[in-house]
Structure 1
Amino acid sequence: MSNRLWTKDYIAVCLTTFLMFLNYYYLLVTIPIYLIQDLQGNTGQAGLLVALFYLAAIMIRFFAGTWIESYGLKKVFLASLIIYLGAAFMYFFSTSFTSLLILRLIHGIGFGMLTTATGTIVANIIPHGRKGEGMGYYALMMNISMALGPFAGLLAMNQWGSSVMFAVSAASVVIGTFTALLISVPKESKVVVSEKAVKKKGWKVTDLIEVSAMRISLVSFFFALVYSSIVSFVSVYAEERQLTEVASYFFIVYVIVLILSRPFTGKWFDRHGANVIMIPSIISFAIGMFLLSQASGAFIFLLSAAFIGLGWGTIFPTAQTVAIQIAPPDRKGVATATYLSTMDSGIGLGSLIVGILGAQIGYSSVYFYGSIFALAGLFVYHFLHGKVSQSARELAKEQVLSQVK
Structure 2
Amino acid sequence: MTTTSSRPRLITSTFAFAWLVNFAQFMVFYLLVTIMALYAAQQFGASETAGGFASSAFVVGATAARLFSGMLVDAIGRKKSLIISLIVIVLACLAYFPAHSLVLLILVRIVHGAFYAIASTAVMAVAQSVIPATRRAEGTGYFALGTTLSAALGPAAGLALTHKWSYTAVFDIVTALAVLAFAFALFIRNPEEAHHGGGRSLRSMIHPHVAPIGVFMLLIGVGYAGVITYINAYSRANGLEAGASLFFIAYAAISLVMRLFLGRVQDRNGDNVVIYSAVVTFAIGLALLAAASTNWMVVVAGLFVGLGYGSLLPAAQAIAVRLVPTKEMGAGISTLFLFLDVGVGFGPIALGMLITASGYKTMYWVLSGLVIVSGVVYLFVHGSSDRSRATTHAPEVHLEA
The TM-score range, normalised by the shorter chain, is over 0.9
Q: TM-score, with normalisation over the residues of structure 2?
A: 0.93
| Larger fraction in helix | 1
Determine if contact 1:64/1:76 at 8 Å carries over to the other structure: no
**Residues 1:27 and 2:27 are matched in the alignment:** no
The correspondence for 1:293, drawn from 271, 274, 290, is 290
The correspondence for 1:156, drawn from 146, 152, 161, is 161
Which residue pairs with 1:111 in the alignment?
A: 116
The correspondence for 2:338, drawn from 315, 321, 341, is 341
**Residues 1:67 and 2:77 are matched in the alignment:** no
Distance 1:331 1:385 in 2: 19
RMSD (Å), alpha carbons: 1.9
Which residue pairs with 1:402 in the alignment?
A: none
Q: 1:373 to 1:392 in 2, by over 3 A?
A: closer
Determine if contact 1:26/1:152 at 8 Å carries over to the other structure: yes
Distance 2:174 2:75 in 1: 32
Distance 1:43 1:371 in 2: 27
Determine if contact 1:274/1:389 at 8 Å carries over to the other structure: no
**Residues 1:215 and 2:212 are matched in the alignment:** yes
Which residue pairs with 2:307 in the alignment?
A: 310
Report 1:1-400 matches (<5 A).
Answer: 1-2=2-3, 3-188=8-193, 190=194, 192-194=195-197, 203-389=200-386, 393=390
Please state how far the C-alpha of 1:392 moved relative to its aligned partner.
Answer: 6.7
Distance 1:275 1:42 in 2: 44
Please state how far the C-alpha of 1:41 moved relative to its aligned partner.
Answer: 2.4
* 1:112-142 deviation line (CA, Å, top 9, x unaligned): 1111111111110111111101111222211
Distance 1:163 1:32 in 2: 15
Unaligned runs of 5+ in 2: 395-401
Distance 1:163 1:55 in 2: 24
For the pair shown, the structure with the greater C-alpha radius of gyration is 1
SS of the equivalent of 1:93 reads coil
* 1:71-116 deviation line (CA, Å, top 9, x unaligned): 2222211111111111111111111112212211211111111111
Distance 2:107 2:342 in 1: 21
SS of the equivalent of 2:96 reads helix
* 1:142-164 deviation line (CA, Å, top 9, x unaligned): 12211211111111111111222
* 1:226-275 deviation line (CA, Å, top 9, x unaligned): 11101111111111220112312111100100111112201001111101
Please state how far the C-alpha of 1:175 moved relative to its aligned partner.
Answer: 2.0
Determine if contact 2:62/2:115 at 8 Å carries over to the other structure: yes
Determine if contact 1:275/1:389 at 8 Å carries over to the other structure: no
Identity, % of aligned pairs? 29
Q: TM-score, with normalisation over the residues of structure 1?
A: 0.92
Q: 1:390 to 1:321 in 2, by over 3 A?
A: closer
Distance 1:302 1:391 in 2: 32
* 1:18-67 deviation line (CA, Å, top 9, x unaligned): 11101111111122222211233222221222332212111112212111
Q: 1:390 to 1:339 in 2, by over 3 A?
A: closer
Please state how far the C-alpha of 1:393 moved relative to its aligned partner.
Answer: 4.0
Distance 1:41 1:356 in 2: 20
Please state how far the C-alpha of 1:312 moved relative to its aligned partner.
Answer: 0.8
Distance 2:253 2:117 in 1: 27
Please state how far the C-alpha of 1:390 moved relative to its aligned partner.
Answer: 5.6
Farther off after superposition, 76-85 or 238-247: 238-247
Q: 1:84 to 1:389 in 2, by over 3 A?
A: farther
Determine if contact 2:286/2:365 at 8 Å carries over to the other structure: yes
AA paired with 2:217?
Answer: S
Farther off after superposition, 236-245 or 48-57: 48-57
AA paired with 2:166?
Answer: G
* 1:181-234 deviation line (CA, Å, top 9, x unaligned): 22212311x3x235xxx6xx6x43223121111111111112112111011111
Distance 2:64 2:103 in 1: 21
* 1:314-359 deviation line (CA, Å, top 9, x unaligned): 1111111101111011100000110001111011232111111112
Determine if contact 1:62/1:208 at 8 Å carries over to the other structure: yes
